């Protein structure tokens, strides 16, 4: 036998089966290209020099891992289809005298050719698009564009190692599959099909129950922290329920349709329903996979897009003023001490020195405490409750004096000893008294409809109570508890917030802010105020971190969505391809008994529409019920614009539906052409 016989046979096998090999090779190149881009961006030297680059690197590292895992699962799925579609050909090789070792040589060579083409193409496209992707990333994170071009050797090495190993594993799996099959089984594999499965009402009902439970979990969660904890539980429940409903529930639905004689014995529905029932177990898994991928795309684009588009709202919510200076105080007496006044003097003198005119400024004293709300409304601030930051009943309580509140809000509250005014955020408090363990017991005499923005409260997104008190003297009851908890329970702040005139440039504002911070630190050090803490934030400086995080997440969502859409397309394409060949003989028989081409077209439309759009409809329902949960989660990032989040999610669904419709038109044509031959 000639030395080039097996390579030639393997290469001809790829060429003759190009209808299934070309999409597979494109998929292999695509996932390798995506990984190369993510790996290249995560080690890009630009990230080391840009502000917020570490945040972007973490996001890209997460994306790199997701792509790697998804690549393995997706290529295993497509490789399985590709191998099964060649069974008849491999069986013919056996019948013609080739042993299993010879067939395995062909399988190995085919996988080798595909791997070489995929690696060369993947690396080539990765290098070609890496710079374009870098420019897109820098645009999303609002960083300066760098037009220099470089190829990372470590990225090339990692890509070769990871996908080289993956292609070797795929080749081994293909060999095992072919070797375990009898030659006659291989030759007649296309005629085996699947026996019509029985309707499993138990699993169908179980899927419905799990799905309803996951939906209830998503819409019933009230607190963002709780949503973050239960999100992954709900995701797993939805995935399990989707597979059960599409695999068992769809069979049950087909059985119900078959019992409806007026519907089933109709030339438009007879073949589609019979075909779907015959192989619905396999169809169900594919449809469920399509539904899950579509849901992932919708949720990723909806949430990440909301964060990116609403970044300015998040920044304004988190930093109501451009400069936020907080002095942490050791005792209640120091709230009205000389140190707080000195801080304000340093801020004013530094701005005056740098010719920074202040457009708006407020100062106030603030005390905060955290605890768990009990069934009777008591805020339990014992050590165990205060440390339970993930508790579903956690509450933050912020105290402000009525003098500061009246001055800032322009009101005229006149509270007496033992009284307070209350404003709630992200939670209600339907009690007449505010009772805090180790703290005051106050009668709520007024419910406030508005309160000035406290950036700290927006940052931690915990249900909060804003309490206006006559004076901070009522907080002396915390003294013993403060000693017991080492100062953790009650935090005391003097806050100075200001925004320069709009004519001041961003660079000048940040320089003034940095100088102010240095002057404040020098004062605290020279005055031996070690017990005082200083926390300073500038919204212009922090904006880069916001955009680097939100832009990086949005960029990652787009990359993963492209990959998931491509995977969805390939799954549907292979599904239409395999089912087209399986249904070809059935439609040929139907033509012989009088079914016209127009009838066949209507029958195909009925089947394809039913099968094709069921995952999309279910994905839309998943997204609708998931929205309350991921809305709570994105609030943790400071986004408070609900309308923006709703619009972004709806637009994401519309755009994805358009892509899905285009996929439908292309793949339906493939199916129709096959069964019409």
Question: DSSP letters of 421-436?
Answer: EEEEESS----SEEEB
Phi, psi at 291, each rounded to 5°: -65, -45
> Can you give the pLDDT at residue 147?
62
SS3 2: coil
Torsion angle defined by CA atoms of residues 454, 459, 460 and 462, in that order, rounded to the nearest 10 degrees: 50
Tens of pLDDT, residues 182-230: 655 555 555 444 455 565 677 778 888 999 998 988 888 776 666 666 7
* CB 244, CB 205: distance < 8 Å: no
Q: Which residues contact 502 (CB under 8 A, 6 or more apart)?
A: 359
Q: Which residues contact 511 (CB under 8 A, 6 or more apart)?
A: 354
Q: Residue 460: how many CB atoms within 10 A of its CB?
A: 15
Task: For strands 379-380 and 441-447, give the pairing.
Answer: unpaired
Question: DSSP letters of 449-503?
Answer: S-----HHHHHHT--EEEEEES-GGGGGGGHHHHHHTTT-SEEEEEEEEEEE-TT
Question: DSSP letters of 347-375?
Answer: HHHHHHHTT--EEEEEEEEEEEEEEEE-T
Burial class for 116, CB neighbours closer than 10 Å (0-12, 13-18, 19+):
exposed
> Can you give the pLDDT at residue 432?
92
Distance in angstroms (rounded) separating the CA atoms of residues 420 and 512? 38
Q: Which residues contact 6 (CB under 8 A, 6 or more apart)?
A: 102, 105, 106, 109
SS3 593: coil
Distance in angstroms (rounded) separating the CA atoms of residues 215 and 200? 23
* CB 441, CB 478: distance < 8 Å: no
> Can you give the pLDDT at residue 174?
83
CA distance readout (Å), 659 to 240, 297, 298, 565: 26, 12, 12, 8
> Can you give the pLDDT at residue 606?
64
To 10 degrees, what angle do helices 5-16 and 18-42 make?
90
Residues linked to residue 368 through DSSP beta bridges, in sequence order: 398, 491
To 10 degrees, what angle do helices 100-140 and 539-592 make?
140
How many Å is the Cα radius of gyration of the chain? 32
Question: DSSP letters of 123-170?
Answer: HHHHHHHHHHHHHHHHHHTTPPP-------HHHHHHHHHHHHHHHHHH
CA distance readout (Å), 477 to 1, 77, 330: 96, 65, 15
* Parts of the chain with a pLDDT under 50: 191-194, 385-390, 481-488
Tens of pLDDT, residues 220-265: 877 666 666 677 788 888 888 888 887 776 666 666 666 666 666 6
């Amino acid at each position: 036998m000639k030395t080039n016989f097996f390579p030639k046979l393997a290469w001809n096998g790829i060429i003759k089966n190009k209808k299934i090999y070309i999409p597979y090779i494109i998929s292999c190149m695509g996932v390798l290209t995506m990984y190369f881009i993510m790996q290249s961006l995560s080690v890009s030297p630009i990230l080391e020099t840009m502000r917020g680059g570490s945040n972007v690197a973490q996001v890209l590292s997460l994306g790199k891992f997701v792509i790697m895992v998804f690549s393995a699962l997706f290529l295993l799925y497509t490789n399985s289809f590709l191998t099964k579609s060649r069974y008849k050909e491999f069986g013919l090789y056996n019948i013609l005298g080739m042993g299993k070792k010879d067939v395995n040589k062909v399988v190995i060579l085919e996988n080798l050719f595909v791997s070489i083409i995929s690696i060369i193409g993947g690396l080539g496209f990765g290098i070609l698009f890496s710079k374009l992707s870098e420019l897109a990333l820098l645009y999303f994170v609002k960083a300066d564009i760098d037009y220099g071009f470089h190829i990372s050797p470590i990225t090339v090495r990692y890509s070769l190692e990871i996908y080289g190993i993956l292609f070797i594993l795929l080749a081994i799996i293909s060999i095992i599959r072919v070797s375990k099959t009898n030659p006659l089984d291989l030759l007649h594999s296309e005629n085996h099909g699947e026996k019509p499965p029985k309707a499993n009402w138990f699993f169908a009902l179980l899927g419905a129950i799990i799905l309803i439970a996951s939906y209830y979990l998503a819409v019933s969660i009230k607190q963002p922290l709780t949503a973050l904890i239960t999100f992954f539980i709900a995701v797993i429940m939805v995935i399990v329920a989707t597979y059960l409903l599409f695999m068992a529930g769809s069979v049950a639905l087909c059985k119900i349709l078959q019992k409806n004689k007026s519907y089933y014995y109709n030339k438009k529905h007879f073949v589609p329903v019979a075909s779907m029932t015959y192989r619905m177990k396999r169809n169900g898994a594919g449809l469920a996979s399509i539904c899950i991928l579509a849901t992932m795309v919708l949720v990723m684009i909806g949430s990440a897009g909301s964060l990116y588009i609403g970044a300015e709202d998040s920044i304004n919510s988190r930093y109501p003023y451009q400069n936020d200076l907080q002095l942490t105080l050791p005792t209640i007496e120091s709230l009205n001490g000389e140190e707080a006044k000195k801080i304000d003097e340093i801020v004013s003198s530094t701005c005056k020195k740098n010719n920074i005119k202040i457009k708006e400024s407020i100062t106030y004293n603030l005390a905060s405490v955290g605890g768990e709300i009990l069934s009777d409304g008591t805020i339990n601030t014992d050590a165990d409750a205060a440390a339970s930051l993930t508790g579903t009943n956690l509450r933050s309580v912020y105290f402000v004096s009525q003098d500061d509140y009246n001055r800032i809000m322009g009101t005229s509250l006149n509270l007496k000893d033992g009284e307070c005014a209350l404003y709630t955020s992200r939670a209600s408090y339907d009690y007449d008294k505010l009772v805090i363990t180790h703290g005051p017991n106050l009668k709520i005499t007024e419910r406030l409809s508005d309160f000035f923005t406290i950036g700290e409260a927006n940052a931690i997104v915990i249900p909060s109570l804003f309490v206006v008190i006559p004076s901070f003297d009522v907080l002396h009851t915390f003294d013993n508890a403060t000693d017991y908890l080492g100062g953790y329970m009650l935090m005391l702040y003097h806050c100075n917030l200001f925004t320069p005139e709009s004519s001041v440039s961003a660079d000048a504002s940040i320089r003034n802010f940095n100088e102010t911070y240095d002057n404040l630190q020098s004062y605290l050090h020279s005055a031996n105020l070690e017990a005082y803490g200083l926390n300073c934030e500038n919204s212009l400086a922090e904006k880069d971190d916001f955009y680097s995080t939100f832009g990086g997440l949005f960029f990652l969502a787009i990359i993963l969505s492209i990959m998931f859409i491509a995977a969805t397309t390939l799954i549907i394409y292979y599904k239409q391809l395999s089912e087209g060949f399986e249904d070809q003989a059935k439609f040929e028989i139907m033509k012989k008994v009088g079914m016209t081409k127009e009838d066949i077209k209507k029958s195909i439309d009925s089947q394809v529409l039913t099968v094709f759009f069921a995952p999309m409809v279910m994905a839309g329902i998943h997204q609708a019920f998931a929205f309350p949960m991921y809305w709570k989660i994105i609030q943790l990032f400071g986004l408070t614009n609900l309308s923006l989040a709703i619009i972004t999610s709806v637009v994401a669904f519309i755009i994805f539906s358009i892509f899905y419709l285009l996929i439908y038109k292309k793949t339906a044509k493939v199916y129709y052409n096959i069964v019409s031959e």
